Amino acid sequence: MDVSIIIVNWNTRDILRNCLTSVFRNILESSCEVIVIDNGSSDGSDIMVEKEFNQVTLIKNTENKGFAAANNQGMKIATGRYILLLNSDTIVLGGAISKTIQFADSEPQAAVVGCQILNSDRTIQQSCFMFPSILNMLLAITYMYKIFPRSKYLGRERMTWWDHSDLREVDVLKGCFMLVRRESIEQIGVMDEQFFIYGEETDWCWRFKRAGWKCIFAPVGQIIHLGGQSTRMQAGPMLLQLRGSLLLFFKKNKSSVEYLIACLLTALFFGVRLPWWAILSLLKPAQESIRSRCYYYAKGFIYSLRGASYLCIRGPLD
């Protein structure tokens, strides 16, 4: 078995159907197995998979266990020499999986290989990042990388200056498409389930790199990534989760001083934006989305001063 493809799904039935269709169009079934972990969906995703894709191994969770935990469930039963973590909101193009496997075979020191990721309009989607640091965090929360995306300094964390057209070793690869060598997983272990969603691939890449493995971006194939199809349904909680996962990374992998500074910078991120949303909520009290945004920025400001455990959401989101 060349590759075990693991797809975690939460309430994205129609998008998942398109993803699975693209997978089976682009790779021979005899060389791969596809494992879908449904994280307690309520939209009939599991029924769709059972009816339309009987070649898929389906694991049905009764609740949302989180992205890391669900992927780990898939890895426990996977038999491939590579594990491909593939988001449900992706479309595989032109044999991208097979091409990435062929490249990985030529790079035995690569723990993780990522391909070129496109937006729905076929423009390049940034998919490689630097590891979190105090400097990178400070630059990122200013949003200056959006104003000056071609600056190698201001856009350093998200590598906004790079067009993703050439092969290179990177710190972190986006988790929507991660081809991972089985031997590297056997050495450092599966994903850390402390991360409910967000940050798990960053922590995983950190552990791979510290063990001497490489994470490589190779533009040998392409996929389309729609992005945020599950998380947009819970935008407020996911905002807290994103920032909390970053703090959890600092708490786990950095010094206590760096973690404290990261908490303060996260509070600053929420604090400088809170007055704007508070004013808007007073001017437009009838708009639920504005009031909700104000609530979560206030909550994020208070909770970030208390640490990662307060921002990170465990279990069902509300």
Specify the pLDDT at position 134. 97
Least confident of 28-42, 116-130, 213-227: 28-42
Would you place residue 316 in the very low, low, confident or very high pLDDT band (cuts 50, 70, 90)?
very low
Specify the pLDDT at position 229. 65
Greatest Cα pair distance, the chain, in angstroms, is 60
3-state class (DSSP) for residue 28: coil
pLDDT in tens, 223-279: 999 986 656 667 788 899 999 999 999 999 999 999 999 999 999 999 999 999 999
pLDDT at 289 over 90: no
CATH superfamily of 3-127+164-225: Spore Coat Polysaccharide Biosynthesis Protein SpsA; Chain A (3.90.550.10)
Closest by Cα among 11, 64, 27, 39 to 179: 27
Q: What is the C-alpha separation between 205 and 201, in angstroms, rounded?
A: 6
Specify the pLDDT at position 318. 39
Least confident of 116-130, 139-153, 165-179, 192-206: 139-153
Q: What is the C-alpha separation between 215 and 217, in angstroms, rounded?
A: 7
Specify the pLDDT at position 234. 74
For residues 70-96, give the mean pLDDT.
Answer: 96
Would you place residue 317 in the very low, low, confident or very high pLDDT band (cuts 50, 70, 90)?
very low
Q: Which amino acid is at 261?
A: I
Would you kindly state where each structural domain of the chain is located, as residue ranges? Answer: 3-127+164-225, 131-156, 231-311
Specify the pLDDT at position 286. 80
pTM, entire model: 0.93
Beta bridge partner(s), residue 58: 36
